């Protein structure tokens, strides 16, 4: 079947380089943000999250930056590996009863050996 990654913007990086994936979110009232990774044929997997009272959060090889002034979110992946090749989605949420995540359209990350 057709890959979910087709028709999406693609970021191509050399193995070992750092990757930066950007996302613009829409709701200035959103207070919780998540990055998901989706490999072909699988469901999205949680990578890292950040609350709106923070502007940076680090995980293992990944860092998320949040700029609320311009409603911008970025995911940095250090020393990109072939296994990082996937579609990446940002998601935003305004926490509260029965809140729902709203997902961006996604970006395909392609790692060149």
Partner 1 sequence: DAGITQSPRHKVTETGTPVTLRCHQTENHRYMYWYRQDPGHGLRLIHYSYGVKDTDKGEVSDGYSVSRSKTEDFLLTLESATSSQTSVYFCAIKGTALYHGYTFGSGTRLTVV
Piece in contact with partner 1 (CB under 8 A), picked from 13-21, 55-63, 68-76, 103-111: 103-111
What 3 state SS string does the chain have?
CCCCCCCCCEEEEECCCCEEEEEECCCCCCCEEEEEEECCCCCCEEEEEEECCCCEEECCCEEEEEECCCCEEEEEECCCCHHHCEEEEEEEECCCCCCCCEECCCEEEEEEC
106 binds partner 1 (CB under 8 A): yes
Question: At closest approach, how far in Å is the CB of 103 from partner 1?
Answer: 4
Nearest CB to partner 1, comparing residues 5 and 13: 5
Nearest CB to partner 1, comparing residues 19 and 35: 35
What Cα–Cα distance (Å) separates residue 32 from each residue in 18, 46, 73, 92, 100?
25, 13, 11, 6, 11
Question: At closest approach, how far in Å is the CB of 20 from partner 1?
Answer: 19
Residue among 51, 55, 56, 79 that touches partner 1 (CB under 8 A): 51
45 binds partner 1 (CB under 8 A): yes
- Kindly list the residues in this chain that would bind partner 1 in the complex (CB under 8 A): 1-4, 6-8, 32, 34, 36, 41-46, 49, 51, 89, 91, 95-98, 100-101, 103-106
């Amino acid at each position: 079947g057709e890959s979910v990654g087709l028709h999406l913007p693609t970021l191509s990086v050399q193995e070992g380089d750092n990757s930066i994936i950007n996302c613009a979110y829409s709701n200035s009232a959103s207070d919780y943000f998540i990055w998901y990774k989706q490999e072909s044929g699988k469901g999205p997997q949680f990578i890292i999250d950040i609350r709106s009272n923070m502007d940076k959060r680090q995980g293992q090889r990944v860092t998320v930056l949040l700029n609320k002034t311009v409603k911008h979110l970025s995911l940095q992946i250090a020393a990109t590996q072939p296994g990082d090749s996937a579609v990446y989605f940002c998601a935003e949420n305004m926490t509260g009863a029965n809140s729902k995540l709203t997902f961006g359209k996604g970006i395909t990350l392609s790692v060149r050996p």
